[in-house]
Amino acid sequence: MTTTTTKEPAQGAPVAPSGRGGISQSVNDSLIVARRNLIRMMRIPEIVIFGLIQPIMFVVLFSYVFGGSISVPGQGLSAEGYREFLMAGIFAQTVTFATAGAGAGIAEDMHKGLIDRFRSLPMSRGAVLTGRTLADAVQTALTLVVLAVVAVLVGWRAHEGFPKMLAGFGLLLLLGYAFTWIGALIGLTVRTPEAATSGGLIWLFPLTFVSVAFVPSENMPNFLATIAQWNPFSATVQAARELFGNLPPGYVAPDAWPMQNPVLASVLYSLLIIVVFRTLAVRKYRRAAA
């Protein structure tokens, strides 16, 4: 007769409960975490207010300070033409800068031990990060609404109808959501919220400025123009301009594939970023929880 023995954990040793499986349970856990983060944002309105100030400043400064100084193909040195050209870039920069906030928020939760409390619960391992990124996406959507109102006040218009305008903002939100997963990975990697903020911004500046967001790639040296045209950020900016009807009259897109097919390129780039960085972030979270 054989005897089966069960190895008991050492006395006093913590036992981490296994997360509940199933897609529906994972979705439910993610929504609960997202709700918790949204309630926190509402109780600390400074988070939303300060998040709105910077993009509004960019709109005003770029529109009125640089508006008559940058040449747009087909329109020359036109403040009105540059304002139409600019806004898709400002929208895209705003959604990607949410990366720093996502990373800092997760790093702060790690620093305060909140993530450790979540680990002790029988919940999906990826739900903590998914819930956080969903809450950040809601905040980003609110920021875009306010920013669009400000853009209309300074003279920006969407000329292709309401459905295409919604599609343009949808692509912008998809890019922002993709980038929050990069922020999540940074937040899990660094030790302090301050480091997460710095780490979330330092690479965003070259990414956003070496692009077609603020100046046409035709005005750049050849090697920079090639980088800008294949930049994932540029694809979404170009797609938004196309859907908003903000491309200059007679505009001819560069030969680069993302510039010729910006809507498709924007979707593919964003989905690829989500798949890669969500996988890396969840793996990092699970290793830290082991």
Residue 20 has pLDDT above 80, yes or no: no
Residue 285 has pLDDT above 60, yes or no: yes
Residue 142 has pLDDT above 60, yes or no: yes
Residue 288 has pLDDT above 70, yes or no: no
Residue 15 has pLDDT above 60, yes or no: no
Say how far apart CA 159 and CA 162 lie, in whole Å.
9
User: How open is the CA angle 65-66-68, to the nearest 5 degrees?
Assistant: 105
Residues 6+ away with beta carbon under 8 Å from 31: 131, 134
Q: Is the pTM of this model over 0.85?
A: no
User: How open is the CA angle 28-45-190, to the nearest 5 degrees?
Assistant: 65
Residue 110 has pLDDT above 80, yes or no: no
Residue 251 has pLDDT above 50, yes or no: yes
pLDDT class for 13, splitting at 50, 70, 90?
very low
Q: Which two tokens stand for residue 49?
A: 């207010």
Residue 8 has pLDDT above 80, yes or no: no
Query: Tens digits of per-residue pLDDT, 164-196?
Result: 999 999 999 999 999 999 988 998 888 788 888
Q: Give the pLDDT confidence score for residue 190 in this predicted structure.
A: 84
Out of 236-240, 249-253, 273-277, pick the least confident.
249-253
Residue 39 has pLDDT above 80, yes or no: yes
Q: Give the pLDDT confidence score for residue 6 in this predicted structure.
A: 45
For the segment 248-271, the average pLDDT, to the nearest whole number, is 91
Q: Which long-range contacts link 19-28 to residues 24+ away (Cβ below 8 Å)?
A: 19/122, 19/123, 19/124, 19/125, 19/127, 20/122, 20/123, 20/124, 21/124, 25/124, 26/124, 26/126, 26/127, 26/130
Q: Which residue did the predictor score with more confidence, 18 or 274?
A: 274
Q: Give the pLDDT confidence score for residue 12 in this predicted structure.
A: 46
Query: Tens digits of per-residue pLDDT, 40-70?
Result: 777 777 777 777 787 888 888 877 777 666 7
Distances (CA, A) of 166 to 179, 206, 260, 261: 20, 28, 21, 19
Summary mean pLDDT of the chain? 82
